[in-house]
Amino acid sequence: MQVFGLVLVPWVGLLGFLFPRAWAKAIALIVSLVDLALFVTLLAHTGPGVNWNWIPELGIHFHLAADGLGLFLVGLSTVLVPAVILASPRAERPAYYFWILVSESAALGVFLAQDLVSFYVFWEVVLIPIFFLLSGWAGENGHATALRWLIMNLFGSFFMLIGVVAVGMIHQTQTGHLTFQLASLAATNFHGAAGPWLFIAFLVAFMIKAPLWPLHGWMPSAYGESPPPVTALISGVLSKLGVFGMLRVLVPLFYPQMRAWEPWLIALAAVGLVYGAVIALRGRDVKMTAAYASLSHMGMISLGIFSLTTAGAVGATFYMVAHGLMAGGLFLLLGWLERGTGSRALSGLSGLNRRLPRLSAWFQLFALAMLGLPGLAGFAGEYMIFQGLIRANVAAAVVAGVVLIVASWYMIRLFQGAMQSTPREEAAAVDLNFGQVGLIGVLAALVVLLGVWPAAITGHVGTLRPSPYHVVALVRQGGSAQ
Amino acid sequence: MITLTEIIGLPLLGAATLMVFKTILPRRTAGIWATLLIGVAFALSVAATVHLAALPAGHRVVTGSLFTWTTGFGPSIAWRFYLDPLAAVWILIITGVGFLIHVYSNGYMGDDPDVGRYFAELNLFIFSMLLLVLAGNLLILLIGWALVGLSSYLLIGFWYERASAVRAAKKALVVNTVGDVGILIGIVLLYQHFGTLSYPGLFSALQHAAPGSAFFTWVAILLYIGAMAKSAQFPLHIWLADAMEGPTPVSALIHAATMVTAGVYFMARLYPLLHLAPGVAAAIAAIGAFTALFAATVAVFQRDIKRALAYSTVSQLGYMFLAVGIGAYAAGVFHFVTHAFFKALLFLAAGSVIHALSGEQDMQKMGGLFRKMPVTAVSFLVATLAISGIPGFAGYFSKEAILGQALLEGHALLWAVGAFTAGLTAFYMFRVFSLTFLGKPRDEKLHQHAHEAPLVMTIPVVILGALCIFGDVLGGWLNSWLGPTFDTYAGGATYAIRSGPVWGTAVAVLLALIGIGAAIVLYVRQGKGAYAGNERGAGVLGLQAWGSDAVWRWAAVVPFQALGDGVRRVNVGFVRALDAVAGEVAAFSDDLRPIETGQIRRYVLAMMMGMVVVLAYFLVRM
């Protein structure tokens, strides 16, 4: 029942509308902390989850359960959402907090769903809160930004809907039994002519949501224009939905197609990896530099998945969590930097270290984490992705290696550009207050902990009620351990 | 094993406490606390080495492990530590020389407003370096390796408001990342192949492999790229001279005595792998010899005292790699030890000079400082004699060990390059010594204010000077001490130091004496300044390291920047095109809007017409 609670609790945020506006943040915070507490109980005892017969006529179940793949992404969401709420302005309208909580609920639903229709429903629910957050809070052109988000994602969703229905029907013709349980669908054979098309339908939807090159058209304005906490939410939690979907749906259901197209998929991810990195290298705006770095990292995660190895899948799962913490923290910091100095242009910032010592220290740490410094969380994920990739495609591993070099270049350029070199004295600058230090300190502690002890996650990804991708990957490779 | 984690943990404790409390600690306590911890770490290192020595020769390994680093996709990788005779040499130098440089820093950096951060980062470096050396598998080594690079980056950019320091720090980090990535891909290949990264596991597996396969060649190349970046081997030497932007004790500790020798340690550690990749070993020796010569030719033209010493470091590292490449491991390690003594001394003494001249590093502004700073000058002279390879000083024995073994193993060309470089070394080092301490002061004003350094700075320098003279006894000890490390697996057969032919030594010493004589004639007798010979023509190129920065700039930096600019433009066009498509769709839907009139009659009519068409189609088909 905890899993149902996780999805349900954020809706309690509706209470925020009943109370004075000044209370909205506190209410949202309490609600999100209750969700975090639920996650902690889930860590202690995962339990069987809930599996209700939702629409029996169509074989649709409402099936939520935490497995090795989803559990730690649930953890990421429940940790990051309170941070996002804490970092938001106190005077914000109740609707702002409500939409953040709704997006949390929907994301948790996706991470927990074990039934393809349940998965799809939560997947679609995500669109709504983000649409309203973008349209209401993402600056003057917020409506256009929100429409770009909505239209691109709906485009993907419709393909996915066709895919969901077709997958269920093909399963029915093969077994005489209509169901959308992912565990059952994994045994279905999609070798026919429809197989590749269904695969592409799902792939497009997942790529748009991540986003992955070349379907990242909604990203620049959404990341660039939304308030920093919302950017942290999108890049930290919601961007994981797309790559998560690949592990949850594509690998178990479409393994043969992925195997057949592996070189192309890897090339696709590698292009995105390079594309984001070289744009970040020439970034002129601190936030957009981080945004394209994020795009590059999505390419890295999908490389791990497309390697179709256990190491790659475990690495991708780990890196999703690590990246959520790192990118979430970095976008929050950049938001405080923008608020403290009134500027986002790299050309307008310089030598702020002396006046912003606290912000600078944490910024340095998160920049190092993002560039993959061994000892911090990002590296552990990258290492495992490389371990998988080397088996699948050595050339791609070399390209990814070059991108790691570029990554250290663009992250240090970003950090130094804002914080070091000759200071400008004219503008005022406001350093972090102690609340902000505490908030970023918690995220940083997790980044360090996961860097020193990745086994905290990877030790459970495969063993804790093995998730479909793991089983399938093992079976198809004849039980090989890598 | 408790001791290993304590040795590693103490400096980490220092770094953490200083980071947290740096703003509230009284000025002097930060340095004292940091120095104390390193002193204890040194004592523990000595204890651990003594413990190691008490073990029977065949079992001289102390291991320890903490917890699993990662797992879930094959055999798990744990935090493992590994102390053997090779690692013991390094930890003694890291903590020993590190302690002396910490002491010195109390004087040198005592007045800096950020002294707390300085000592925190210095302790972080010692921690990282110990982690690198005591790691029990290649992954933990890589973590230490990268953290060493991080501390180096932090300390190069210590004065973060100086644009040149900031640039140098970035350059160091990026070039070191090149090496990190090489190691990353190398160890990923090894894990894929052998399912383990621990030294004993890996090396035992290597025993059954046949030398010369492409796999081992590639792995060795990738790991060597890591060593190359960290140890500034050509062509990845470009960051080290710029790294001199950091405080001078940092240059002594990190960019001379310890960090840059990590590559030597790494390659010596991997001798069973080099055994399987003889071509790579030969390339390491050749590149080492070339680096030694190349850097020496650059050092000849330098104006800045620290940059001259930096290129000298690159050159000496070349010797160490030459030794490792030809299998003369003990000689390479010996040279690392003596180099740590004399090069740390040279930098510390140069630091005292810079300190005395209120920050001036240009040798053109120096001269005649012998009288003013006798202790520093004499110590500097001892180290200069040592690096020049004058018999009786430690550097002579270790350099001769390398060159002699090169001759014995039949590498005549490598020997010739090494011997010629020895002559160049003597020349440029005496050039530096003469320009700094001898002749007439070229800047009276600076000279007048110059003074000998305080005791806290001179004592470490004098101790290092004594080590430069008496360090030669270590050669024989290392020969037997390193035996257990290099006898365990195939590939260490030629590790031990053997004396080469007498004529070889005579030639090398003669060349060194010629170099010294030439330097004395030019810079003392004729009184040439630091700018002589590097103001026009080839000298300018020599001053700029024969254009290696420019080559890298055009070969790597500019192409990536151009690619970035190109992709940026494509991306802007791409997002615009997306909006244009959306706009077209919106326009199309506007065109369709008149159809939606809201009149039921028209909808029904449309439906009827549609049904008629469908019916007609089926009727025709029937």
Alpha-carbon distance B171 to nearest alpha carbon in chain A (angstroms): 8
Pick from A102-116, B96-110, B361-375: least confident = B361-375
What are the phi and psi torsion angles at B66 (to 5°)? -105, -70
Q: What does pLDDT average to over chain A?
A: 89
* Partners of B63 in the β-ladder: B82
**Closest C-alpha among A172, A169, A186, A45 to residue A115:** A186
Cβ(B310)–Cβ(B243) below 8 Å: yes
pLDDT tens digit string along B392-442?
A: 898 899 999 999 999 998 899 999 999 999 999 999 999 999 999 988 888
Alpha-carbon distance B616 to nearest alpha carbon in chain A (angstroms): 30
Alpha-carbon distance A408 to nearest alpha carbon in chain B (angstroms): 6
Q: Which of B74, B150, B160 lies closest to A482 in CB terms? A: B74
Task: Give me B105's structure tokens.
Answer: 């820093």
* Partners of A285 in the β-ladder: A345
Contacts of A392 in chain B (CB under 8 A): none
Q: Is the dihedral of CA B315, B321, B326, B329 positive or negative?
A: positive
Interface ipTM > 0.95:
no
Contacts of A354 in chain B (CB under 8 A): 161
Task: Give me B504's structure tokens.
Answer: 């070889």
Distance CA B247, CA B548 (A): 24
Cis bond leading into A374, ω under 30°? no
Task: Give me A450's structure tokens.
Answer: 């996961």
Contacts of B173 in chain A (CB under 8 A): 408, 412
Task: Tell me how long chain B is.
Answer: 622
Residue bearing the bigger pLDDT, A22 or B184 = B184
Which 456-515 residues of chain B touch chain A by CB within 8 A?
none
Q: Which of B170, B184, B575, B584 to mutate to test the interface with A (most CBs of A within 10 A)?
A: B184
Alpha-carbon distance B134 to nearest alpha carbon in chain A (angstroms): 16
B108 interfacial to chain A (CB closer than 8 Å): no
Contacts of A453 in chain B (CB under 8 A): 67-69
pLDDT tens digit string along A208-259?
A: 998 998 899 889 889 988 999 999 999 999 999 999 999 889 888 888 888 8
Contacts of B147 in chain A (CB under 8 A): 373-375
Q: What does pLDDT average to over chain B?
A: 91
**What's the count of helices (H) and strands (E) in chain A, helices before strands?**
22, 2
Distance CA B564, CA B479 (A): 53
Other CB atoms within 10 A of residue A92 CB:
18
Distance CA A378, CA A390 (A): 18
Other CB atoms within 10 A of residue B576 CB:
11
Q: Which of B182, B191, B568 lies closest to A387 in CB terms? A: B191
Cβ(B142)–Cβ(B191) below 8 Å: no
Cβ(B551)–Cβ(B386) below 8 Å: no
Alpha-carbon distance A410 to nearest alpha carbon in chain B (angstroms): 10
Q: Is the dihedral of CA B190, B192, B194, B200 positive or negative?
A: positive
Q: Which of A387, A454, A458 lies closest to B192 in CB terms? A: A387
* Integer angstrom CA distances of residue B181 from A382, B160, B174: 11, 26, 11
Alpha-carbon distance A432 to nearest alpha carbon in chain B (angstroms): 16
pLDDT, mean of residues A355-373:
93
Kindly tell me if the per-residue pLDDT of A476 is higher than 50: no
pLDDT tens digit string along B530-540?
A: 888 888 778 88
pLDDT, mean of residues A108-118:
94
Alpha-carbon distance A235 to nearest alpha carbon in chain B (angstroms): 19
Contacts of B169 in chain A (CB under 8 A): 412, 416
Shortest CA distance from A275: residue in chain B: B567
Contact between chains at A315 and B73 (C-beta distance less than 8 A): yes
Task: Give the model's pLDDT for residue A463.
Answer: 53
Q: Which of A147, A353, A458 lies closest to B70 in CB terms? A: A458
User: How sure is the predictor about A480, in pLDDT bands with cuts at 50, 70 and 90?
Assistant: very low
Kindly tell me if the per-residue pLDDT of B468 is higher than 70: yes
Contact between chains at B74 and A311 (C-beta distance less than 8 A): yes
DSSP one-letter string for A328-355: HHHHHHHHHHHHHHS--BGGG----TTT
pLDDT tens digit string along A139-185?
A: 888 888 898 899 889 989 999 999 999 999 999 988 888 999 888 88
pLDDT, mean of residues B307-329:
94
Shortest CA distance from A414: residue in chain B: B170
Task: Give me B486's structure tokens.
Answer: 């290099």
Distance CA A5, CA B128 (A): 45
